[in-house]
Amino acid sequence: MADPPQANLKTLLVGIDAGCRPVLDPLVEAGAVPNLASVFETGAVGTLTSQIPPWTPSAWPSLYTGVNPGKHGVFGFLTFDGYDWDVVNATHVRERTVWELLDHRDASSVVVNAPVTHPPTEFDGAVVPGYTAPENPDCHPEGLLDDVRDEIGDYRVYAPRDADEVDAVEWYRRLVRMRGEAFRYLAERFAPDFGFVQFQATDTVFHEFPGDDAKVRAVYEAVDDQVGAIVAACDPDTVVVASDHGMGEYGGHEFRPNEFLRERGLVETTTEGDGMPTWSTIADDELQGDDTSDRGGEGSGAADVSAAPDPSPRGGGASGALGGDVSGALERGMSGLASLGVTAQRIKAALDAVGLAEFVAERVPTDVARAAAEQVDFPNSTAYARDRIELGVRVNLAGREPEGTVAPEEYERVRDEVIEALSGVETPDGKPVFEQVTRREEVFSGSYVEQAPDVITVPREYDEFLSTRVGDGVFGPPSEPYNHKREGVVALSGAGVDSDADLSDAHLFDVAPTVLATLDQPAGDHMDGSVLSPVEPVGTESYPAFDAGERRATDDGEVEARLAELGYLE
């Protein structure tokens, strides 16, 4: 006889990365996701408007803290120290999470696969970190990952990078199953009041297999199976389903603000390896096992491996398998191609099409690949887009940036110039590229607004794809045919939920205060969201201030390579 359900779970939050009505509704109609359909049909369901920017590393922290990025401090996959960068982790989230607030109220939680939760904090319960964590993450309590693996047989954060197309989809399904099995084991062991399980594969499948409805359905069917199994095993009083953003096809163009700004004399470029990371440098660093803890020093975005020891027996470096003379000739040739707009990104796309990208990355010396990767020269530029995920332009301000070129008294004039120029830009077919170009303080509020781009650029209907690349024209076809949209999904079902309530104004920031209300706990008075109308509010409280400890470096080449392969790092 099966074990009885764990009746103590009061609220279950199911996170579906990139979940949205245009994707889910056809699956519901086809009968492919009966368990999610049950939540939608018995409860209240609506569109959940995401934040700016609507991307995983910033949006999930906003969802589980209830505050905007200006308060929690994460604006994209990367964090910057001057011109140097690193991948964000939990120490960059400078706000208390829902489970930490619940701990303050003597309520326990189990959290599985939530992005940007590594390294974990201590609280009453358990956490297995998700996206941006290393493959073998630290968990809370210490040693928990070994316990999970002993119990369910295996647990991974990511699929193996060498999986072929068929295996990749099967791996997505396995990862989904691992999330569900791990959550059920931990829910039984810790008997939490609150549970949060997040599924990332629903986003990844679109980046890896855009437009492949069969693969999307296979992943969602796996998620639905696990949602059903969790609900059956844990019998939560209330189920909340929420996403961080939506997903859809891009029908517009790729716009390259750095190339646009270069034409106006605001951006300088280099092929010397300074600037943002590219596919070529990350792939080479990761494949050759290079130490990524050194970001290449002042003005550099990628580790300088030109002086790295020869990684025998493969023979990398400038004088490895190809030999110094041949390498030098290749480097000069690639640099010449870069001046004509033939960038490493375009070469990588062509190699991908014939299955040779990894082969070449293993054999082409770093200096050769870098010669074709024309990049923004941060120290010598006036204003630039650092990271396309940030949706904005940073001013190279003297006294703030290590080699700032813009005097403080010129700051507002430069911002005005950038706003005016970008506000008027149109696509080749006469449509505006942006629906909003404005100062960051018009979008964000809080102690960490200073870390945001100085000018925020919101693409029109998120149908125009932004890229930080240079040397390849101002416009081009989108690098990815599918990408993030701002309209996600939210649904609530169960005890105390008014299934007829209106969710037309639901926002990402509302999820955290709503979850607290389902547990009869007050929202934080500092939160930017409100309790959604299907649930009765419990008031607000001034929770203890966030205890800001030191930020830790991620410095994980494997994580960087995965982000590059998914198009988040160009």
Range of the domain at 214: 11-249+484-506
In this prediction, what percent of the chain has a pLDDT beyond 90? 72
Choose the weakest-confidence range: 116-125, 359-368, 481-490: 359-368
How confident is the prediction for the chain on average, in pLDDT? 85
Count CB atoms within 10 A of the CB of residue 135: 12
| Confidence check: pLDDT of 169 > 80 | yes
Cβ-proximal residues to 237 (8 Å cutoff; 6+ apart), any chain: 9, 10, 11, 494, 495, 496, 518
| Confidence check: pLDDT of 342 > 50 | no
Tell me, yes or no, whether 141 and 230 share the same domain.
yes
Which amino acid is residue 438, in one-letter code? T
Tell me, yes or no, whether 69 and 170 share the same domain.
yes
Please list the residues that pair with 126 across neighbouring strands.
110
Asked whether 50 and 508 are in contact (CB, 8 A), the reply is: yes
Q: How far apart are the first and last CA of the chain?
A: 53
Query: Measured on CA atoms in the order 490, 478, 61, 133, is the torsion positive or negative?
Result: positive
Tokens of 484: 């993030």
Whole-number pLDDT of residue 293: 36
Detail the DSSP E strand segments found in 67-186: 78-81, 84-87, 109-112, 125-128
Alpha-carbon distance values, 281 to 161, 325, 569 (Å): 17, 21, 11
Whole-number pLDDT of residue 262: 97
Asked whether 85 and 302 are in contact (CB, 8 A), the reply is: no
Q: How many residues does the chain have?
A: 570
**Cα 543–15–527 angle (5° rounding)?**
25
Whole-number pLDDT of residue 352: 56
Domain boundary residue among 354, 376, 398? 376
Choose the weakest-confidence range: 86-95, 296-305, 337-346, 561-570: 296-305
Residue 305 located in a structural domain: yes
Residue 469 located in a structural domain: yes
Residue 202 located in a structural domain: yes
Identify the DSSP state of 528. S
Choose the weakest-confidence range: 60-64, 111-115, 314-318, 541-545: 314-318
Please give the average per-residue pLDDT across 542-564, as a whole number.
Answer: 83
Tell me, yes or no, whether 130 and 230 share the same domain.
yes
Cβ-proximal residues to 90 (8 Å cutoff; 6+ apart), any chain: 116, 117, 118, 119, 120, 121, 129
Using DSSP's 3-state secondary structure scheme, residue 316 falls into coil
Residue 492 located in a structural domain: yes
Helix (H) or strand (E) segment spanning residue 533: none
Asked whether 112 and 182 are in contact (CB, 8 A), the reply is: yes
Which amino acid is residue 465, in one-letter code? F
Classify the phi-psi angles of 485: left when phi > 0, otherwise alpha if psi is within -120 to 50, otherwise beta. beta
| Global confidence as pTM | 0.85
Cβ-proximal residues to 361 (8 Å cutoff; 6+ apart), any chain: 280, 283, 284, 287, 369
Tokens of 421: 């120029």
CA distance 496 to 536: 8
Alpha-carbon distance values, 479 to 158, 254, 280, 482 (Å): 23, 7, 16, 9
CA distance 405 to 475: 27
Asked whether 292 and 509 are in contact (CB, 8 A), the reply is: no
Tell me, yes or no, whether 366 and 295 share the same domain.
yes
Tokens of 47: 């569109």
Domain boundary residue among 337, 360, 376? 376
Choose the weakest-confidence range: 6-10, 150-154, 204-208: 6-10
Count CB atoms within 10 A of the CB of residue 34: 15
Detail the DSSP E strand segments found in 68-220: 78-81, 84-87, 109-112, 125-128, 194-199
Whole-number pLDDT of residue 513: 98
Whole-number pLDDT of residue 7: 56
CA distance 374 to 160: 30
How many domains are there within the chain? 3
Tell me, yes or no, whether 157 and 179 share the same domain.
yes
State the number of CA atoms in the 13 A half-sphere of 93 facing the CB.
29
Alpha-carbon distance values, 509 to 57, 154, 461, 506 (Å): 15, 34, 20, 8
Tell me, yes or no, whether 289 and 303 share the same domain.
yes
| Confidence check: pLDDT of 442 > 50 | yes
Residue 567 located in a structural domain: no
Tell me, yes or no, whether 321 and 237 share the same domain.
no
| Confidence check: pLDDT of 336 > 70 | no
Tell me, yes or no, whether 71 and 169 share the same domain.
yes
Residue 519 located in a structural domain: no
443-456 residue pLDDT tens:
999 999 999 999 99
Tell me, yes or no, whether 70 and 165 share the same domain.
yes
Please give the average per-residue pLDDT across 143-165, as a whole number.
Answer: 92
Asked whether 140 and 161 are in contact (CB, 8 A), the reply is: no
Using DSSP's 3-state secondary structure scheme, residue 507 falls into strand
Asked whether 462 and 226 are in contact (CB, 8 A), the reply is: no
Tell me, yes or no, whether 29 and 148 share the same domain.
yes
Tell me, yes or no, whether 241 and 106 share the same domain.
yes
User: pLDDT band at 301, cuts 50/70/90?
Assistant: very low
For residue 125, give the CATH number of its domain: 3.40.720.10
Residue 445 located in a structural domain: yes
Domain boundary residue among 360, 376, 392? 376
CA distance 478 to 489: 25
Residue 543 located in a structural domain: no
Whole-number pLDDT of residue 366: 44
Whole-number pLDDT of residue 306: 29
Please give the average per-residue pLDDT across 403-415, as a whole number.
Answer: 98
Tell me, yes or no, whether 291 and 232 share the same domain.
no
More confident: 319 or 376? 376
Choose the weakest-confidence range: 265-269, 431-435, 561-565: 561-565
Tokens of 286: 């990761």
CA distance 397 to 402: 9
